[in-house]
Amino acid sequence: MLNPKLSKVVIGVGGGIAAYKVCELVSRLFQSGVEVRVILTNSAQAFVTPLTLATLSRHSAYTDELFWQPIHSRPLHIELGEWADLLVIAPLTANTLAKLTYGMADNLLTNTVLASTCPVLLAPAMNTDMWEQLAVQRNWQQLLTDSRYHGIGTASGLLACDRVGAGRMAEPPEILAYIQSLLHTGGKRDLVGKRVLISAGGTREFLDPVRFIGNPSTGKMGLALAQAALHRGANVTLVHGPANWNVPLGVQAIPVINAEEMQQVMQEYLTSADMIVMSAAVADVKPRDYSSEKLPKRSLPESLALEFVPDIVSELAKMKQPHQCLIGFAAQTGDIVAPALDKLKRKNLDVIVANPIDKTDSGFGSDNNQAIFLDKQGKQLEIPPCSKLQMAHHLYDFAWG
């Protein structure tokens, strides 16, 4: 999903046990076509070797030893700072955080940061007590007031010190998604101060405790929409059906099961939202009768009586205010434009995403998607096959730009 004009990333590795996770990050970046350069602080080398990261990045890894040797035609930190489209520091230690906050530069990594103008992504990792220190939190919040810096908060769990609490570094897939977003946007935060309400995944309408009417939706498109909005600075609420993925750090997630529950939550949060993206694949019908006990196979009806579930997006359209943007999805086979245009007008949407579910590596369950965007002013934009995260960014560019 990468912008070919923005694909040069410098990874700065701090001294912490989470440094081992950077190996996966560097490997996946290289495999996705990104040029990677790695800088290790002196303390980082106690946890992972320059040789390991050089092998994974297919390029020499840089250390302070190289920084202080006059072997370059130009200062190394200047070359790296000008070369990078994005800097990533993972793990970010309390020590490096303090240096960045006050503009200090006493090693290759911090000098490179000051010699660059590109966005900087920070992934902190430290013991819970260290992370929760007032001085550390003050530095963290102060640094993030600088528009260059983008931060992934820490997760909670079992730490290497056997403490259970906050301070775990974000996992490589989450950092990778943020990197991909920043390479797409160039670091812009055009959704700062905006509230984005997103529905995702399929709903399940149960006949009995074990049988339901549903669809193959995995919610991956809604997850990508949440990630993209978060990375662009939005306050994100994600209302999702049953899913097999982790909610991004910083996203408010509300799980639901059926259409009635989803409608209730979406309407509850509607009034505070600036943008509503209805990407969920909501069931159209549900069994008319529900059994609280599992029905024996012999008792299953030969003909299942059905009734329609609420049309959530239509109800939201009736309630939305003029300043709000309501986006719907139309998953189609065959001709995708005509049905989407009809849905756009009939349901009073601002934008609709027409995406084919009968194309290879697209639609339900896929990591990729393709679509045609249409808005109520008659504008259309065709998006060729790409990752769902890139699709999400294209949608925000179309709807909000």
**Residues tagged in the binding site annotation for CTP:** 284, 294, 310-313, 329, 343, 347
Mark the binding-site residues, compressed into ranges. Answer: 284, 294, 310-313, 329, 343, 347
Q: What DSSP letter does each residue of 42-99 carry, written as one string?
A: TGGGGTS-HHHHHHHHTSPPB-HHHHTS--SSS-HHHHHHHH-SEEEEEEEPHHHHHH
First to last CA, the chain: 19
Distance between CA atoms of 307 and 305, rounded to whole angstroms? 7
Conformational region of residue 103, where left means phi above 0, alpha means psi within -120 to 50, and beta covers everything else = left
In sign, the C-alpha dihedral spanning 359, 363, 232, 172 is negative
Reference 81, options 104, 56, 109, 100; nearest CA is: 109
One-letter amino acid of 8: K
Q: Does the active-site annotation cover 23? A: no
User: How far is the C-alpha of 112 from the C-alpha of 126, rounded, in Å?
Assistant: 23
* 3-state SS class at 195: strand
Pairing of strands 368-375, 380-387: antiparallel
What Å distances lie between residue 115 and 87, 144, 378, CA to CA? 11, 18, 46
**Any bridge partners for residue 8, and if so which?**
35
Q: Decide: residue 355, CB within 10 A, 0-12 exposed, 13-18 middle, 19+ buried.
A: buried
Looking at 118, 161, 325, 386, which residue is catalytic? 161
Q: Which two tokens stand for residue 9?
A: 């990333």
Residues 227, 202: contact at Cβ < 8 Å? no
> Which amino acid, one-letter code, is at 193?
G
Cα(6)–Cα(316) distance, integer angstroms: 38
Cis peptide before 385 (omega within 30 of 0): no
Catalytic residue positions, numbered: 161
